Structures are given as C-alpha cells and as structure tokens.
Amino acid sequence: MFGADLPPPAGRLLTDGESLAIGDLSLKVIHSPGHTPGSILALLAKDCFLAAIRFSKRMSGRTDLPGGSEKQLRCSLEKIKSLPPRTVILPGHGVKSSVLEIELRNNPYL
C-alpha cells in the first residue's frame, strides 16, 4: 500500500494483559484493534503509549483503511476510558501528548 515495503511478519504476537519487559521497564499490553488490526496500547506506570490507535486532542484513529473497524475502535476506546484519569497519552503520528481526564471532557469519541 502506498508503494512502501511492508515490515517482515512478527516473530510472535503480544496478548492482551501481557507484561513486556524492556530493560528495567515493564509495559502492560492492552489489545486495541480498530484503527489497524492487531494494534496495542503499551501502558507504562502513568504514561500510556498509544500505538496505531492515533488518539488525542479530540480525535480518534481512522477506520477506513484496510483492516480498520469502527466497532473494534469503539471497544478499544472503552478500554482507554477505564485507565486512571491522570494517564498521560503519547499517541505518535506527530500528535502532541494529552492527559486522559482532558480527553474525557473534550473528546467526542469518548
């Protein structure tokens, strides 16, 4: 798609609720499909690193590309809503960080 080379297939898939150790860090994996199949959130203490859900600043990820699902994205957003309100959100894609409690008040997708 878009003329780009795709990365090789994953050596193994991460599961929902799994802890992933990277050096001294421990990340909790939260399965969050919708924007793309197989998307995850990686939760580190108070920070939430959002992978391909592309969520923040009163927006949510697209679901119109191959493999996207609005229904699955809504379920993934429900998981985000259950995180502590002070969770820092680092969405990627050049989108600035936010805090969940701000998004809960201002993001129409939540």
pLDDT digits (tens, 9 = 90+) for 3-42: 667 778 888 888 899 998 889 888 898 888 776 777 888 8
Tell me the C-alpha distance between 3 and 57, whole Å.
Answer: 30
Q: Which two three-digit tokens encode residue 23?
A: 């050096």
Residue 95 or residue 85, greater confidence = 85
Domains and CATH numbers, the chain: 19-106 (3.60.15.10)
pLDDT value of position 52 = 46
Q: DSSP string covering 71-108, please? A: HHHHHHHHHHHTS-TT-EEE-BTTBPPEEHHHHHHH-T
Q: What is the DSSP letter of 5?
A: P
Tell me the C-alpha distance between 47 and 44, whole Å.
Answer: 5
Mean pLDDT of the chain: 77
Tell me the C-alpha distance between 2 and 64, whole Å.
Answer: 15
Residues pairing with 26 in the sheet? 21
